[in-house]
Structure 1
Amino acid sequence: MCGSTTREASWASRSPPGPPASWNASATFSATRLRWWWLDSPLTPGAPIRLGEADEARLPCFTEALSLVLHPQLSERLEALLSSPRPEVRATTARILGHRHETGAGPLLPLLEDAVPEVRAAAALAVSELGHSPALPVLERKLTEAPPEELDIWLLASLRLGSSRALQACRQAAQAAGPLVPRIPWLLGLAGAPQDFSSLRQLSRRPELVRTTLEAIGILGVPAAVPLLLEHLEHPQAEVREAAASALALMTGAGLTEKSHVFDEEAADEGAAEESAREVTRPSTDSAVWRAWWAEHRSRLEGKSRLRLGQHYTLDACIEELAHPRSPFDARARAALELDIRSGQPCGFQPDWPVHRQRQTIERWRSWTEHT
């Protein structure tokens, strides 16, 4: 499905497509076709570029394909589209350049001041993916100037580049009264410290924030949060129970699972019956099972400041999440963000990069942790 690549606009809500770095069939088809256009059509610097002319509904297809297709001059040619009169083309081009990680961030910098929020967001994320630290003063300025609905984007971009001001702004936003973008608690779990659990515990009482806050609590991994997560396994809403179960699984590595049937969107897109569903294995949402497990293992885990898969949290745990062949796509995307933020060595890792490129980046991170 071409529409999946609007995922970069929401930057953290990707659904797992299978083994690491595998292309789905539609992405491969789109990439193959577009690669033919780029390699075999007589393009010149002044020739029209299909991306710039594409209907808005087709732009996600171009994003997915051109983020992955191999071509030595593609990124350079795409830079011209950053000045397109169409804001959706400017935003799409920024996402592609950030994902490809082949060029400098200079041409993206003017878009940080674009009049269109979508373009500013795409440029901010791309600049941070490219690790362009000279942009940090601009990003930090936006933390105080941006409207509340854009704050999470500027926070993420600044955190990726090592901003301590961004972490403080994240904490202040989490403690303030009034509406809050759900991704801000998630970012606090991603970049925060054990003492931030108290803020997250307060946010978990807000119905509109409970699911993402439980995800954040699982990422933060403070053992004192386990009773709260166990309590939410009995929540009336299924998505809240699932978030609590996933948080417990991430913290403990207990391996407690259950089978579930979920609606198969891809089958429906292909004309299958609406009731088409597939069986998945997911963390158990059975409160009794988890309470029994915690009673047995509590003494072993409570003394640690932070947990990840049953061990004391380290960046090595994130690296292993990236490297493990069964890590789902969304877990690898989150682990890559954690590494970018906490290591101070942003690599812009993408879980759908070609396998050899993923392995090279993982090895660089391993080498860095070994020497720090």
Structure 2
Amino acid sequence: MSFSYLPFVAPGGQEGQPSAPGSLDLLAHDALESAHAALRRAALSLEHDVEPVTDLTGPARALERALGAIYDAFDGRADRVAALRAAAAEIDSAAVAVGEAAGLEAGLAAVGELLRSARAWLERAEARLAAVPPAPPLDPPPIRASRDRPRLHAIPRASLAPRIKVPEPPPAELVAKPPPPIARPKTFEELKAAVEALKQRAPAPGALPAAAEARPLAARRDEPAARPAPPGFARDVGAAIDDLAFLRARTRECFEEVAMVGMQRAPLLGDPFRGALVLERRMLAAIDVIAAIGAPALEHVPRLVAEAPVKDPSLAFASAMVLGCFAGRDALAAAELALLRSDRDKAFIEALGAALKLAPHELLPLALRGLLREPEPLVRAMAIDVLAYRGLATEDELVAAAVDEAAPVAARALYHLGCGASQRLPELIQRALAAEDPALREAAWTAMALSDHPHASIALRGAIEAPDGGDAAALLLAIAGDEADARHLVARAFEAPREGLIAAVGWTGAASAVPSLIDLLERDGDKAVKRAAAFALDRITGAGMWEEVAVEDEEIVVADPPDPDVGEPRELKLAQLVSDPRDLPPAPAPELVELPTVDAARWRAFWMERCQGWDLGARYRRGRPYSPEVVLDELDAGRVTPAERRHLQRELIVRTGVFVRFDPHDFVVVQEEAIAAWRPIAARASGAPGRWTRPRRRAG
């Protein structure tokens, strides 16, 4: 990609202005990052891959101090050369302890190798930095509040050193020292003396164990029960919390606010995307509060994720979003460590990547390129996706990811290469089409459609027949195909109607398909197919005949879990307890959603009354002759979901031959800027309304 996307405000700068470059040169940065990556892998190995045959607490604490010193060197919080030497000393200390125990555990040998690698990279970085005169640390700019896009905050603080949790060694068995043995008696006098010795060693009759003697007097049964407190009063009000506990509690509230907004900011069907602006401002205000609290708040954020009982994706989003808004390599590294500790949880990784697409951190390219070298495919896929999303990935990086052996990595890279029409794209597409992974094949179809591949129509027509990918191919054919492709798709859809094919008919915009869609509503068939036909009719005609529909119980994705049966009678609801039996409240109202009507009579009346002048050989979208301008209006103000808006973005790329960066995941103001950039391009490409024309944009 030839541009960089910076949706944020830099410290002390204007909107969209990147941060000032640091004093480290590129080679020193790379050496420090390589040392950091090796130390991080060593720390993760100590946490998860090594059996606790010995006490690893000492090496773990040494690695914590080494990482903190590396962050000091990265961010200039201390003299860089002195910080690197301190990190090297800590690594040497950990290496000695690891080497002594390497014979007891095979995994420690790999840890020792990582420590030696980190030590070598630190020596290279020190050699580069020793030749540079030291620069005094810069005063951080004043903290300024964010509004519609995140601001990168720089606050004075110490480096965030991670807490490495190593397994505890097996406890030594506590065995009381046995009394001296009694000699074997040979006479009756010796036998009598042996019995007397055993009696003296035995506990006295009726003696209580030490645990019983240590019980408090209040626990005895003869103690009278304490008098209950009067209503409205509490006998024990608890101890007052200190200032640090108060600040951490406030930090938790703001952190949970960011987590909540991150999961709810995507609009539902029928909601305008600009309505998310209120939620985004709430999220940015919560981050600003954390910045105003300062170092105590920022130090507490990684603990909120590390101490969580489950790997909740909302916590992943919140941690990366909050930490990505604070300058410093250590803040971003804390989010990366939470990612690498996620045990390959796909939802956790995806949520963290969603936050990195929005975070304004100035070292994000450096961190993501480090994650591209991780062994976990899902992490590499997330890293290349975020790099390309932000416009930071080079063509060589995308091509290398597209030939990755892991299908998730190749699929992410192939889509972004399709947007840029790389010279190597035809070769990569051919390789992906032969793969067995359905997601990789779908990415190849998308790249073919976006780049105007000469064989796109043939490949998509053939893929429609496949049960595992036919619906995705049908939608791409409807978006990128010509008039012949539209006729083929319509004919295929009505031969064997299924939900995905009927939905794709609406994207073709063929006016000749409207009567057949209305006939489909009159048949006794699958409800999902009928609903897809109603959506297709609304997309073509723009009738706006929506109605409230009750959601059936089985259609609710997440049901309320039932109360566990503990063998006790169930408590009555409050309404049943306080209401008269003759005046009980009615049953709760069903869940309602607005959907296009499936009443065939209403659609036929609309078709006969409003669409008589239509050209049955033309293409329509929302009741208007099709053109890129109509597509852009639908992207801007249509009643569509975020997924449909992504399809509209692809449609604009196909029908204009131009790429403008847009995604419904962006902040509202960024989406509005992208729509404004699309406006003149769509106007120039709208010279033949109602047709399937498209400019030539061949791959290679």
TM-score tier (shorter): 0.7 to 0.9
Q: Find the aligned partners of 2:335 and 2:437 in 1 and give their Cα distance.
A: 38
1:336 aligns with 2:649: yes
Partner of 1:145: 434
Partner of 2:353: 63
Assess, with a 3 A threshold, how the Cα gap between structure 1 residues 325 and 310 changes in structure 2: closer, same or farther. closer
**46-55 or 317-326, larger mean C-alpha shift:** 46-55
Assess, with a 3 A threshold, how the Cα gap between structure 1 residues 134 and 211 changes in structure 2: closer, same or farther. same
Unmatched segments (≥5 aa) in structure 2: 1-257, 284-311, 564-587, 686-700
Partner deviation per Cα, 1:202-241 (whole Å, 9 max, x = no partner):
432575x721111111011111111221122235211111
Partner of 1:20: 273
Residue number among 520, 523, 528 corresponding to 1:232 in the alignment = 520
SS in structure 2 at match of 1:153: helix
- The AA in structure 1 aligned to 2:273 is P
Q: Find the aligned partners of 1:276 and 1:101 in 2 and give their Cα distance.
A: 48
Q: How many residues align?
A: 355
1:190 aligns with 2:190: no
1:286 aligns with 2:599: yes
1:119 aligns with 2:434: no
CA apart distance, 1:282? 1.1
**322-331 or 150-159, larger mean C-alpha shift:** 322-331
Q: Find the aligned partners of 1:305 and 1:289 in 2 and give their Cα distance.
A: 23
Partner deviation per Cα, 1:230-265 (whole Å, 9 max, x = no partner):
122235211111100000000000111111133554
CA apart distance, 1:104? 3.0
Q: Find the aligned partners of 2:602 and 2:409 in 1 and give their Cα distance.
A: 47
- The AA in structure 2 aligned to 1:60 is E
1:167/1:192 contact within 8 Å kept: yes
CA apart distance, 1:87? 0.9
Q: Find the aligned partners of 1:178 and 1:283 in 2 and give their Cα distance.
A: 27
Residue number among 209, 218, 223 corresponding to 2:506 in the alignment = 218
Assess, with a 3 A threshold, how the Cα gap between structure 1 residues 343 and 33 changes in structure 2: closer, same or farther. same
Assess, with a 3 A threshold, how the Cα gap between structure 1 residues 348 and 216 changes in structure 2: closer, same or farther. farther
CA apart distance, 1:155? 1.1
Q: Find the aligned partners of 1:122 and 1:342 in 2 and give their Cα distance.
A: 23
SS in structure 2 at match of 1:95: helix
Residue number among 424, 433, 458 corresponding to 1:168 in the alignment = 458
Q: Find the aligned partners of 1:74 and 1:276 in 2 and give their Cα distance.
A: 48
Partner of 1:345: 658
Assess, with a 3 A threshold, how the Cα gap between structure 1 residues 324 and 76 changes in structure 2: closer, same or farther. farther
1:261/1:280 contact within 8 Å kept: yes
Partner of 1:301: 614
Assess, with a 3 A threshold, how the Cα gap between structure 1 residues 304 and 254 changes in structure 2: closer, same or farther. farther
- The AA in structure 2 aligned to 1:320 is D
- The AA in structure 2 aligned to 1:336 is Q
CA apart distance, 1:85? 0.6
Partner of 2:30: none
Q: Find the aligned partners of 2:322 and 2:437 in 1 and give their Cα distance.
A: 43
SS in structure 1 at match of 2:591: strand
Residue number among 548, 558, 577 corresponding to 1:259 in the alignment = 548
1:244 aligns with 2:529: no
**243-252 or 48-57, larger mean C-alpha shift:** 48-57
Partner deviation per Cα, 1:244-297 (whole Å, 9 max, x = no partner):
00000000001111111335547859x9xxx99632111111111111111223
Partner deviation per Cα, 1:281-324 (whole Å, 9 max, x = no partner):
11111111111111223322234510101111000011111211
Q: Find the aligned partners of 2:683 and 2:390 in 1 and give their Cα distance.
A: 27
Partner deviation per Cα, 1:2-53 (whole Å, 9 max, x = no partner):
9xx9xxxxxxxx9649431636889987544323334266539999932344
2:316/2:349 contact within 8 Å kept: no
CA apart distance, 1:336? 0.9
Task: Select the structure of larger CA radius of gyration.
Answer: 2
Assess, with a 3 A threshold, how the Cα gap between structure 1 residues 199 and 147 changes in structure 2: closer, same or farther. farther
**348-357 or 211-220, larger mean C-alpha shift:** 348-357
Q: Find the aligned partners of 2:472 and 2:315 in 1 and give their Cα distance.
A: 33
- The AA in structure 2 aligned to 1:318 is V
2:344/2:376 contact within 8 Å kept: no
Structure number with the bigger relative contact order (C-alpha 8 A, sep ≥ 6) is 1
- The AA in structure 1 aligned to 2:371 is L
Q: Find the aligned partners of 1:173 and 1:165 in 2 and give their Cα distance.
A: 12
Assess, with a 3 A threshold, how the Cα gap between structure 1 residues 180 and 356 changes in structure 2: closer, same or farther. closer
Partner of 2:323: 37
Q: Find the aligned partners of 1:293 and 1:332 in 2 and give their Cα distance.
A: 27
Assess, with a 3 A threshold, how the Cα gap between structure 1 residues 311 and 137 changes in structure 2: closer, same or farther. same
Assess, with a 3 A threshold, how the Cα gap between structure 1 residues 194 and 128 changes in structure 2: closer, same or farther. same
**360-369 or 197-206, larger mean C-alpha shift:** 197-206
Assess, with a 3 A threshold, how the Cα gap between structure 1 residues 320 and 304 changes in structure 2: closer, same or farther. farther
Q: Find the aligned partners of 1:198 and 1:63 in 2 and give their Cα distance.
A: 40
Assess, with a 3 A threshold, how the Cα gap between structure 1 residues 102 and 367 changes in structure 2: closer, same or farther. farther
- The AA in structure 2 aligned to 1:288 is A
1:128 aligns with 2:415: no
Assess, with a 3 A threshold, how the Cα gap between structure 1 residues 102 and 332 changes in structure 2: closer, same or farther. same
Assess, with a 3 A threshold, how the Cα gap between structure 1 residues 185 and 327 changes in structure 2: closer, same or farther. closer
Partner of 1:8: none
Assess, with a 3 A threshold, how the Cα gap between structure 1 residues 177 and 259 changes in structure 2: closer, same or farther. closer
Q: Find the aligned partners of 2:384 and 2:412 in 1 and give their Cα distance.
A: 6
Assess, with a 3 A threshold, how the Cα gap between structure 1 residues 84 and 173 changes in structure 2: closer, same or farther. same
CA apart distance, 1:348? 4.3
1:358 aligns with 2:611: no
CA apart distance, 1:196? 1.9
SS in structure 2 at match of 1:56: coil
Q: Find the aligned partners of 1:70 and 1:46 in 2 and give their Cα distance.
A: 14
**78-87 or 118-127, larger mean C-alpha shift:** 118-127
TM-score by length of structure 1 reads 0.82
Q: Find the aligned partners of 1:339 and 1:110 in 2 and give their Cα distance.
A: 28
- The AA in structure 2 aligned to 1:293 is F
Assess, with a 3 A threshold, how the Cα gap between structure 1 residues 153 and 44 changes in structure 2: closer, same or farther. same
Q: Find the aligned partners of 1:244 and 1:71 in 2 and give their Cα distance.
A: 45
Question: Per residue, is there more helix in 1 or in 2?
Answer: 1
SS in structure 2 at match of 1:300: coil
TM-score by length of structure 2 reads 0.46
Q: Find the aligned partners of 2:269 and 2:503 in 1 and give their Cα distance.
A: 16
Q: Find the aligned partners of 2:471 and 2:481 in 1 and give their Cα distance.
A: 16
Residue number among 624, 628, 631 corresponding to 1:315 in the alignment = 628
Assess, with a 3 A threshold, how the Cα gap between structure 1 residues 267 and 103 changes in structure 2: closer, same or farther. farther
Partner deviation per Cα, 1:309-346 (whole Å, 9 max, x = no partner):
11110000111112117543233222111112222112
CA apart distance, 1:171? 3.0
CA apart distance, 1:139? 3.4
- The AA in structure 2 aligned to 1:34 is A
Partner of 2:139: none
CA apart distance, 1:180? 5.1
